[in-house]
Structure 1
Amino acid sequence: MNARTTMLASAIMAAVSGAASAQSPSTMVYPGGMPPVMDNNIYAHAILEQFEDRVGDGQQFRYDGQGWIGTDLDKLWFKSEGTTGRFGDGDHEILLDRAVSTYFDLQGGVRIDLDDGPTRTWAALGVQGLSLYFFDIEATGYIGDRGRTAARFQGSYDLLLTNRLILQPQVEINFYGQADRARQNGSGLSDIDSGLRLRYEWSRKFAPYIGVTYAGSVGQARSLARERGESAGAAHFTFGLRSWF
């Protein structure tokens, strides 16, 4: 390679290097002096947390799922749960969601109790996220017509036995400000739904599981159930599928 060729090659490399440096994020000039924040892309996610058959003192099939669409900061959430057969415990929510910290979101919207019983509509306000030690929790308060009030707490924790085998304790507790005989809700602590599920994640999106669950009425709601000749609570052997996309 002669001297002229060498000088030409050096000039080309210098020009390419200069162009790359000019386009580097550290040297580019942005409006306002700050690079754009990539948090306005639209994403969507849905998870079927419970899709299970409960066998024991009275068989029932239960589902519990939720999904959202939106950005990192603002989302629209949809939640639905219930038992099939005689469709009961039908709870469906549409919520606006705003991230208020790294791990927690503030949610507000509408809940509709829509199943084989009388329909009830509530305004909802609550929080959802990961607490200390990565407990997944939801705490929501509700206000309905005729002075009705309610509150719900849900919590779960994933204990990794292996990378694929996961043990999950879970609990849901419901409180009501006044009794609602038509829906078998008692005032105060009304009902509890809990479980201990062992799932195997064939993939992160597909995980069959087995477990033991308990669903029962408490306090005044227990008395209402017995007046109707229905079970006030029972434990079940449970098997089902957890999936998300």
Structure 2
Amino acid sequence: MFDTDIWTPLCITLKVAGIATGVSSVAAILAAWLLGRRRGPLPLTLDALCTLPLVLPPTVLGYYLILLLGRRGVIGQWLAEAGISLMFSWQGAVAAAAVVVFPLIYKSSRAALEQVDRRYEDAARTLGASEWRIFLGVSLPLAWRGIFAGLMLAFARGMGEFGATLMIAGNIPGKTQTLALAIYDAFQAGNDAQAACLVLVASVTCVGLLAGSEWLVRRGISRRRQT
């Protein structure tokens, strides 16, 4: 059996990755919808900014987050006045993971929404539907497979987040230590057995999530074909 030193980082990881994916999904899908149909210098610049966390080194991203969310940061000062501190907390780990996974959801959602047949949307417009209603009732249901795939990839990526999380939340066992940080700690301490168990748990969890998401997508497709 695995000891509690393995299950605790797993629970923290699942909580952080799940909340981060949920928070990022709302902003990323809306951004994909708003920017996907617009052309020009401003949408192009905003698209680059939305994609930036995907290519930035984790340490650079972590540094930006400290400047933004740290106790003396742009937003961190306001949060401190309200008695909220994201530094060295699991909430800070959520903030770091949310920024990291945002581009994955954004890119997959934008690609899926751009593949929606415009004729369905135009038909809804002729019936008097608003753009917001068209998005919720037409575009989003037709693009759900691509969006769902992006969400699963983002969740798996959130589980493996390391650099930005370390800089924002630290590596506090039982509080902010995720699987990735626990693996690093065990390896540095020369505890190969503990590291191997943690690696196995992380690998099995990620494979199970990806396989399960693929099964759900295929099941949804087969049900649609039957109806």
TM-score by length of 2: 0.26
Larger C-alpha radius of gyration, 1 or 2? 1
Higher RCO (CA 8 Å, separation ≥ 6 residues): 2
Structure (1/2) with the larger strand percentage: 1
